[in-house]
A and B are shown apart, each in its own frame.
Chain A
Amino acid sequence: NAGVTQTPKFQVLKTGQSMTLQCAQDMNHEYMSWYRQDPGMGLRLIHYSVGAGITDQGEVPNGYNVSRSTTEDFPLRLLSAAPSQTSVYFCASRNHRLAGSTDTQYFGPGTRLTVL
């Protein structure tokens, strides 16, 4: 298993440009999430999905779009990048909920995005 993979690892954008951060998992997890982490801070939830075709907003959704057409993939789109979106982005996936709640999350290695 590759686990959770993210591409690209690094990206520099100019203000107003658009791009898509890719996230894929091969563990057949239903739940996937996107977080951002600013310097010296904890992670903040952007969007999440509880299964193919189902997405919902997290704590800081503005400026980001997501879709979930397959179980494996959960791309994050920046439609018009702004300097405030300079951050490290982490994708995560989670086990199915089981009795006893062993629903630990698995995180990808992150994408470091700079918006000039």
Chain B
Amino acid sequence: DAKTTQPPSMDCAEGRAANLPCNHSTISGNEYVYWYRQIHSQGPQYIIHGLKNNETNEMASLIITEDRKSSTLILPHATLRDTAVYYCIVRAPDSWGKLQFGAGTQVVVTP
């Protein structure tokens, strides 16, 4: 699975959009981009994933560049409960149960 690079931390004001970047320049054609988050002391939680097209669900939007070498997770209206570590993961569908978690981005939402 391709490696990802994320900034170690970022702050966001409550109510504003949080834009979390991820670089995955070695991504292969069949690899998906996944985002998970981990709120303190809890198990990771799935947010969203995509292959080529931009995706949106009730939690977030995922924007993938045309060359697929980077992506951005957007939390449209950040709340204090969105404070967490966010992990960007790239993996192929046949990677069985394996998820390669890096260090992620610590997002702190402030009032």
List chain A positions with a Cβ less than 8 A from chain B.
Answer: 4, 31-33, 35, 41-45, 48-50, 56, 58, 90, 92, 94, 97, 101-110
Contact = CB atoms under 8 A, between A and B. Distances in A.
Instruction: Name A's interface SS.
Output: strand
Q: What 8 A-B pairs have minimum CB-CB distances, sorted nearest first?
A: A107-B43, A42-B101, A48-B97, A33-B97, A101-B93, A43-B101, A104-B46, A31-B97
Nearest to B44: A107
A45 B99 CA distance: 7
Given A97-B93, A105-B46, A43 B99 contact: yes
A48 B44 contact: no
Given A45-B99, A108-B43, A110-B43, 9 more contacts: A42-B104, A43-B44, A92-B99, A94-B97, A101-B32, A102-B49, A105-B44, A107-B45, A110-B42
Instruction: Name B's interface SS.
Output: loop
Nearest to A112: B41
A45 B98 contact: yes
Interface residues of B, number: 23
10 contacts: A4-B43, A31-B97, A32-B97, A35-B99, A44-B101, A50-B97, A58-B98, A92-B43, A94-B97, A107-B44
Given A42-B87, A42-B103, A101-B93, A33 B44 contact: no
A33 B99 CA distance: 9
Contact of B102 (A42, A45, A107): A42
